[in-house]
Amino acid sequence: MKLYHSPASPFVRKVMVVLHETGQLDAVQLQDTTLIPMAPPADLAASNPLSKIPALERPDGPTIYDSRVICAYLDDRARAGLYPGGAARWSTLTLEATADGIMEAAVLMTYEARVRPEEKRSAEWVEAQWSKAARAIAAIEARWMSHLQGPLDIGHIAVACALGYVDFRHGVRDWRTENPALADWFALFESRPAMVATRPPAA
Ligand code: BEZ
């Protein structure tokens, strides 16, 4: 299978952590993809009409995207159990969605700083994105700490990749002081081999 990949993308990292944790690294080839929003690579656009990464080309079926679909597919493929059943399922999926929302807001902040012409940048808009991310981080601290102490699932992986990306691109944002339990959890989770192996490159 071919995975459209960029080591800086937190959504790609989620997929990579799932590949590590479920022992499926050998099943994928990584296709390094440089994303320029105004000029998406032709092979990516042909595979995913949204020209977004990650996208996973499979020999036995159409390309799948986005990270949520790919992670669920890989879990199914390995019967890894990263998606609990019963009532816990909805809590896990909502935690994953919350973490993905942090990634979305943080990536938009990055794009504003790196891609948008300087004269068009809006500090107010950036702060509005950060408010979303900060509220979501506080919600995880308030609602999901006991979940995060439980067995590994896709919620844990998504939260860790979201916080890792905030640290990577927006290290000046201090989310730890207000969220000490989450900070302690992340310090431990970050040392898992799957997280160490997928650390983004130096900014
Ligand atoms: C980044 O460089 O921050 C980035 C790269 C690809 C996707 C999302 C973010």
Query: CB within 6 Å of ligand 1 — which residues?
Result: 6, 8-9, 35, 107, 110, 169
CA of 115 to the centre of ligand 1 (A): 11
Q: Whose CA is nearest to atom 6 of ligand 1?
A: 9
pLDDT value of position 39: 86
| Ligand 1 atom 9: residue of nearest CA | 9
pLDDT score for 203: 64
Q: What is the pLDDT of residue 35?
A: 81
CA neighbor of 80 nearest in space, from 18, 134, 131, 162: 18
- Per-residue pLDDT, 123: 95
The tens place of each residue's pLDDT in the chain, 203 residues long, gives 999 999 999 999 999 999 999 999 999 999 999 887 788 899 999 999 999 999 999 999 999 999 999 999 999 999 999 999 999 999 999 999 999 999 999 999 999 999 899 999 999 999 999 999 999 999 999 999 999 999 999 999 999 999 999 999 999 999 999 999 999 999 999 999 999 999 999 86
Q: Best substitution site from 107, 114, 168 to test ligand 1's pocket, by max atoms within 8 Å of Cβ? A: 107
- Cα 82 from Cα 126, distance rounded (Å): 33
DSSP, residue by residue, 42-90: HHHHHH-TT--S--EEETTEEEE-SHHHHHHHHHHHHT---S--TTHHH
CA atoms within 13 A on the CB side of 150: 13
Atom of ligand 1 nearest to the CA of 110: 3
What is the per-residue pLDDT for 93?
98
Ligand 1 center to 87 CA (angstroms)? 34
Strand partners, 57: 2
What is the C-alpha to C-alpha distance for residues 104 and 49, in angstroms, rounded to an integer? 19
